[in-house]
């Protein structure tokens, strides 16, 4: 796959001595939705800020569509739109004035019909003359997205785009992001909502303590790291797991009314057949069984805690 | 060159001026008018002439300079400080604009506003005092040069400041006293000999003296020294700004 952003050996140490990023190597593919996951302070925003030109890297290189972000910053920045995490907008300006400002700042000639379309797509057209201070938090968030799109970027960074946004609006934003991707825009998003990454991302990168851990196709990641659980609802509750079954990764649940067996779905022998045989041998009957997959959230928590 | 980018910053800043018309234009004009009433008409009639010029006319260049310096600094410093304070600076930093283009946008708007204000004050002065401008072209050049230089200085203060107090401290604690002691209301030849020498260390003396020369053809110090001083200060400001953008000081880290 052709990469649109190439990051090599990137590092950032702040003047305070804090190392926010170290040895980051990553390629973002053209046209994909890439989700960057990580706990607070992991380095997600620093990484985005370096690519966008807000923070100067201490080491390594970043190229955007073949252009270096430092030596050829005009070319790289004109291709990028950034929606920051904080609701940082001019307060007293109208939505329309801010759209014109953003487009001009990125070197594009005025194009009212394009700006109108962006505002309509984000349901902001009716608010074009409203001062930004009069808008709700959700609308301000959409204004930030509209501003980031005002110069027709090829790459869009969304730093926690749905933080503090209600469910309906969140789903609306997901649709908008998919539509943007369909139009050829590459999207990189950071999020705390694992559900968001699970719903939208093509690939996922997990960053923790300034280091990039896993970078993987979302489905592959879920298959590779996702664990399955088999829950058996027992006919008679158990007080303890019988010692004969101690070799199995079993847990008692629901006050002894259920046995939970965790297994790796990727392995050829899951051990389920053996477990069921042993249960039968020891006269432990069950009246129901069901299996479940771990969510991306659980995978993420596991990854982060393994690194810690 | 990103001309659209420069235009966007310039228009954004000028829009702020029109939005705050009372604070940015009416207030300095009113305070200058009060100076003319108090010092020009009421006290000035008792002072008599200085260097052959009526006192009310004599103080015009100094008063104009007082407003020009304080307005240039406050416009430019607030213009860049506020985006840093509110977080909207991210957009300028992530845009394909060079440091020079950012400076032209912000400083150009601040200087434009100061020049407009200066001309309005000059027109207001006409209501109270009769005056002539001996070297109008030089007067306008001086006005422009001072507005640009002190807007550059204000821009540095705005970049340096990390709270509102710092934004005010240099205009209030340094510029205002230097202007009052820089011959805005008197000729330095009126000072005792020792203080005449000391006052030459005040850079504002050269600005006011040069500006007064463009009005009346009389000056405390040679006009070429005045022009050189302001050019040197401008160069210092430009160098400092270049260093700030190069290192990212208070901007990028």
pLDDT tens-digit series, residues B75-105: 899 999 999 888 888 999 999 999 889 999 9
Statement to judge: residues A236 and A282 lie in one domain = yes
Q: Do B90 and A78 touch (CB under 8 A)?
A: no
Measured in whole angstroms, the distance separating CA A45 from the mean position of its chain's CA atoms is 12
Q: What is the pLDDT of residues B115-149, one digit of tens each?
A: 999 998 888 888 888 888 889 999 999 899 999 99
| Cβ neighbours of B95 in A, within 8 Å | 77, 105-107
Q: How many structural domains are present in chain A?
A: 2
| Confidence (pLDDT) at A226 | 65
Tokens of A225: 């790291």
B95 touches chain A (CB under 8 A): yes
Q: Which of B5, B13, B16, B96 has the highest number of chain A CBs within 10 A, making it the mutation to test binding with A?
A: B96
Interchain proximity A56–B252, CB inside 8 Å: yes
- The reply to whether A21 falls in a domain is yes
pLDDT band at B164; cut points 50, 70, 90 = confident
Q: Could you give the count of Cα atoms lying within 13 Å of B202 in the half-sphere of its Cβ?
A: 23
Residue B253, pLDDT above cutoff 70: no
Average pLDDT, integer, range B210-215: 90
Query: Which of B15, B23, B91 is the best mutation test for A, with the most CBs of A within 10 A?
Result: B91
Q: What is the largest CA-CA distance in chain A?
A: 79
Residue B190: inside a domain, yes or no? yes
Same structural domain for residues A57 and A198? yes
Residue from the list B8, B12, B94 with its beta carbon closest to the beta carbon of A54: B94
- Within-domain flag for B252: no
Residue A307 lies in a domain: no
A138 to chain B, minimum CA–CA distance in Å? Answer: 18
Q: Is residue B165 within 8 angstroms of chain A, CB to CB?
A: no
Considering only CB atoms, B5 lies closest to which of A54, A104, A147, namely: A104
> Could B8 and A101 be called an inter-chain contact, meaning their C-beta atoms sit closer than 8 Å?
yes
Q: In what order do the strands lie in the sheet with A67-68?
A: A19-29, A3-13, A59-64, A67-68
Q: Are residues A256 and A193 in the same domain?
A: no
Is B196 a domain residue? yes
Domain extent for A214: 3-223
Own/partner pairs for A124-128, CB < 8 Å, 24+ apart? A124/A95, A127/A95, A128/A94, A128/A95, A128/A96, A128/A99
CB nearest A109 (choices: B4, B90, B97): B4
Average pLDDT of span A91-120: 93
- At A38 the pLDDT is 82
**Domain identity same for A290 and A178:** no
Position A224 pLDDT exceeds 70: no
Q: Please report whether residue A199 resides in a domain.
A: yes
Residue B168 lies inside a defined structural domain of this protein: yes
CATH assignment of the domain containing A201: 3.40.50.300
- B1 interface with A at CB cutoff 8 Å: no
Question: Are both A172 and A250 inside the same structural domain?
Answer: no
B28-55 burial: b if 16+ Cβ within 10 Å, else e? bbeebbebbeebbeeebeebeebeebbb
The partner residue sitting opposite B8, judged by closest CB among A76, A77, A104, is A104
**Best mutation target, B10, B20, B21, B94, to test chain A (most A CBs within 10 A):** B94
- Checking if the pLDDT of A307 tops 60, the result is no
φ, ψ dihedrals at B234, nearest 5°? -65, -45
Residue A146 half-sphere exposure toward CB, CA atoms < 13 A: 30
Q: Round to whole Å and give the CA distance between A33 and A265.
A: 26
- Which residue of chain A is at minimal alpha-carbon distance from B253? A55
Same structural domain for residues A158 and A246?
no
CB contact under 8 A, B15 and A97: yes
**Any idea what the CATH number is for the domain that residue A254 is in?**
3.30.70
**Same domain as A257, residue A213:** no
- When pLDDT is cut at 50, 70 and 90, the band that residue B252 belongs to is low
Is residue A180 a part of any domain in this protein? yes
Query: A65: which chain B residues are within 8 Å (Cβ-Cβ)?
Result: none
| Structural domain ending residue among the three candidates A206, A223, A240 | A223
Pair of tokens at residue A278: 């042993």
What mean pLDDT value characterizes chain A? 86
Confidence of residue A208 (pLDDT cuts 50, 70, 90): confident
Q: What are phi and psi of B57, to 5 degrees?
A: -75, -35
Q: How confident is the model at residue A136 (pLDDT cuts 50, 70, 90)?
A: confident
Task: Please indicate, yes or no, if residue B113 is contained in any of the structural domains.
Answer: yes
Q: Does A162 share its domain with A291?
A: no
Check whether B21 has a pLDDT greater than 80. no
The position carrying tokens 């985006």 is B83
Write down which residue in A184, A206, A223 finishes a domain.
A223
Residue A295: per-residue pLDDT: 65
In a domain, B157, yes or no: yes
Q: Tell me which chain B residue has its CA closest to the CA of residue A79.
A: B96
Whether B88 contacts chain A with CB within 8 A: yes
**CB-based contacts of B163, cutoff 8 Å, min separation 6:** none
Cα–Cα dist A266/B78, whole Å? 61
As for the ipTM of the complex, it is 0.84
Asked if the model's pLDDT at residue A297 lies above 70, the reply is no
Do residues A255 and A115 share a domain?
no
Q: Residue A81: inside a domain, yes or no?
A: yes
Chain mean position to CA A282? 46
**Domain end marker among A162, A190, A223:** A223
Higher pLDDT, A69 or B173: A69
Q: Is residue A74 part of a domain?
A: yes
The answer to whether A105 contacts B19, with C-beta atoms less than 8 Å apart, is no
Domain span at B192: 3-247
Angle between the N-to-C axes of helices B203-216 and B55-86, in degrees from 0 to 180, rounded to the nearest 10: 130
Q: Which of A58, A69, A105 should one mutate to test binding to chain B, selecting the residue with the greatest count of B CBs within 10 A?
A: A105
Question: B233: closest CA among B158, B113, B150?
Answer: B150
Beta carbons of A97 and B91 less than 8 Å apart? no
Residue A100 lies in a domain: yes
pLDDT winner (highest mean) among A90-94, B240-244, B249-253: B240-244
Please indicate, yes or no, if residue A256 is contained in any of the structural domains: yes
Of B4, B88, B97, the CB nearest to A88: B88
As given in the structure block, the two tokens for residue A3 are 């990469």
Q: Kindly identify which residue of chain B lies nearest to residue A78, measuring between CA atoms.
A: B96
Q: Average the pLDDT over B205-224 and give the result.
A: 87
* Among the ranges given (A2-16, A60-74, B59-73, B183-197), the one the predictor scored with the smallest mean pLDDT: B183-197
Beta strands A211-217 and A228-234, pairing class = unpaired
More confident residue, B91 or B57: B91
Residues A70 and A151 reside in one and the same domain? yes
Residue B101 in domain: yes
**Is pLDDT above 90 for A146?**
yes
Which pLDDT score, from 0 to 100, does residue B8 have?
94
The answer to whether position B253 is within a domain reads no
Mean pLDDT over residues A260-268, rounded?
A: 77
B87 to chain A: which residues are within 8 Å by CB? Answer: 84, 86, 88
Report how many domains make up chain B: 1
Handedness of CA A74, A75, A76, A81 (dihedral sign): positive
């Amino acid at each position: 796959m052709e990469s649109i952003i190439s990051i090599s050996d990137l590092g950032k140490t702040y003047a305070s001595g804090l190392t926010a990023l170290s040895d980051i190597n990553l390629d973002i593919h053209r046209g994909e939705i890439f989700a960057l996951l990580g706990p607070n302070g992991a380095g997600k925003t620093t990484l985005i800020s370096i690519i966008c030109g807000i923070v100067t890297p201490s080491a390594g290189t970043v190229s955007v569509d073949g252009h270096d972000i430092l030596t050829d910053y005009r070319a790289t920045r004109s291709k990028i739109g950034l929606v920051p995490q904080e609701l940082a907008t001019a307060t007293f300006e109208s939505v329309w004035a801010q759209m014109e400002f953003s487009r001009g700042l990125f070197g594009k000639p005025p194009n009212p019909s394009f700006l109108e379309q962006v505002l309509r797509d984000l349901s902001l057209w009716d608010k074009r003359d409203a001062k930004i201070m009069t808008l709700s938090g959700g609308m301000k968030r959409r204004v930030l997205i509209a501003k980031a799109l005002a110069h027709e970027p090829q790459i869009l960074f969304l730093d926690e785009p749905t933080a503090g946004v209600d469910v309906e609006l969140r789903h609306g934003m997901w649709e908008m992001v998919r539509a943007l991707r369909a139009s050829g825009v590459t999207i990189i998003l950071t999020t705390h909502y694992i559900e968001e990454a699970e719903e939208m991302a093509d690939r996922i990168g997990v960053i923790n303590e300034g280091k990039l851990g896993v970078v993987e196709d979302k489905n592959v990641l879920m298959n590779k790291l996702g664990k399955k659980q088999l829950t058996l609802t027992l006919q008679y509750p158990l007080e303890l797991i019988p010692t004969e079954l101690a070799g199995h990764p079993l847990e008692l649940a629901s006050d002894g009314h259920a046995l939970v067996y965790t297994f790796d779905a990727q392995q050829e022998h899951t051990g389920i057949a053996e477990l069921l045989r042993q249960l039968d041998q020891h006269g432990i009957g069950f009246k129901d069984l069901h299996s479940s997959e771990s969510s991306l959230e659980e995978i993420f928590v596991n990854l982060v805690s393994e690194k810690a | 060159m990103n001309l659209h980018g420069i235009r966007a910053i310039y228009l954004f800043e000028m829009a702020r001026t029109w939005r705050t018309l009372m604070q940015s234009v009416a207030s300095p004009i009113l305070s200058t008018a009060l100076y003319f009433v108090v010092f020009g008409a009421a006290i000035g009639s008792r002072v008599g002439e200085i260097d052959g010029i009526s006192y009310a006319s004599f103080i015009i260049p100094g008063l104009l300079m007082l407003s020009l310096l304080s307005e240039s600094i406050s416009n430019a410093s607030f213009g860049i400080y506020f985006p840093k304070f509110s977080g909207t600076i991210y957009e300028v930093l992530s845009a394909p604009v060079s440091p020079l283009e950012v400076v032209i946008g912000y400083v150009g708007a601040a200087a434009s506003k100061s020049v407009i204000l200066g001309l309005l004050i000059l027109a207001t002065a006409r209501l109270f005092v009769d005056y002539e401008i001996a070297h109008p072209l030089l007067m306008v050049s001086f006005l422009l040069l001072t507005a640009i230089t002190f807007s550059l200085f204000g821009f540095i203060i705005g970049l340096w400041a990390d709270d509102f107090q710092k934004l005010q401290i240099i205009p209030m604690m340094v510029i205002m006293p230097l202007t009052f002691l820089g011959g805005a209301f008197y000729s330095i030849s009126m000072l005792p000999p020792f203080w005449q020498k000391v006052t030459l260390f005040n850079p504002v003396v050269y600005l006011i003296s040069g500006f007064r020369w463009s009005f009346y053809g009389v000056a405390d110090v040679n006009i070429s020294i005045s022009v050189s001083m302001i050019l040197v200060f401008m160069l210092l400001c430009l160098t400092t700004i270049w260093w700030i953008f190069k290192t990212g000081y208070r901007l990028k880290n």
